[in-house]
Amino acid sequence: MAEIRASKPNILKELEKIRVRNSKNIGETYSYDELRDMHYLHAAISEALRLYPPVPVDTKACQNNDIMPDGTFVGKGWEVTYHMYGMARMESIWGKNCFEFLPERWIENGVCKQESPFRFPVFQAGPRICLGKDMAYIQMKSIAASVIERFEMEVESKDKAPEHLLALTLRMKGGLPVRLRKRCG
Ligand code: HEM
């Protein structure tokens, strides 16, 4: 399983900065602009999606004979499958630390950088890219921010990697039991 670095404190620090700057209380809903300012949280979510893409493989059918950018021929009617889960673990794409959970790889000058969808095809790439990508990020950030600020989470069996359950989407067998403790203050 990917090594999880101490990213939670960084997310908390960022949330606190935005909350204090805007005189908000813990538990208040964050606005769209506030969510957009959460660069570290955006990076942490992107890193989780990189390593555990909800759509881990996808198949396309070729309408006409074609040549891939690397010169590979694909014939009319052939199917080509691309593997987002595998691509996340390729040194040639993400470097030697490709197996590590490292939100910092997304951050440049304090800002979460836009990655090419062809390197990070978790939402697909090209003209048929996911139409709900931005909405998905807003929902994920909004939920993560409100839960992380209010509760401390401890994974029940930290020494055991969750088993994958491959369906149309990638899931965890048995879910991820966690213990929640209300944060004080
Ligand atoms: C983390 C969340 C999400 C992930 C990882 C994801 C991923 C994807 C992927 C891989 C595709 C391409 C499927 C294919 O053509 O083979 C896709 C397409 C699409 N997604 Fe998402 N999606 C997410 C959330 C959403 C949400 C929240 C919405 C709507 C509000 C949405 C709407 C769509 C639509 C309409 C398409 C079809 C686009 C087209 O074919 O032109 N997605 N998504």
The CATH number linked to 21 is 1.10.630.10
pLDDT digits (tens, 9 = 90+) for 7-64: 458 999 999 999 999 999 988 999 999 999 999 999 999 999 999 999 999 999 999 9
Torsion angle in degrees (nearest 10) through CA of 85, 86, 89, 91: -140
Residue 170 CA to residue 54 CA, distance in Å, equals 5
pLDDT digits (tens, 9 = 90+) for 103-131: 999 999 999 999 999 999 999 999 999 99
User: Looking at ligand 1, which atom is closest to the CA of residue 124?
Assistant: 10
Structural domain for 16, as ranges: 8-55+89-182
ipTM above 0.90, yes or no: yes
Indicate the top mutation candidate among 130, 169, 170 to test ligand 1's pocket, ranked by most ligand atoms within 8 A of CB: 130
Tally of domains in the chain: 1
Return the pLDDT at 185.
63
Residue 145 CA to residue 35 CA, distance in Å, equals 9
Residue 157 covered by a domain: yes
One-letter amino acid identity for 80? Answer: V
> Using CA of residue 103, residue 104, residue 109, residue 115, what is the dihedral sign?
negative
Residue 95, token pair as written in the block: 């470097």
Residue 110 covered by a domain: yes
Reported for 12-17, long-range contacts at CB under 8 A and 24+ positions apart, including other chains, are 12/148, 12/149, 13/40, 14/38, 14/39, 14/40, 14/41, 15/41, 15/145, 15/148, 15/149
Residue 71 covered by a domain: no
- Which residues have C-beta atoms less than 6 Å from ligand 1? 54-55, 58, 122-124, 128, 130-132, 135-136
Residue 60 covered by a domain: no
What is the value of pTM for the model shown? 0.92
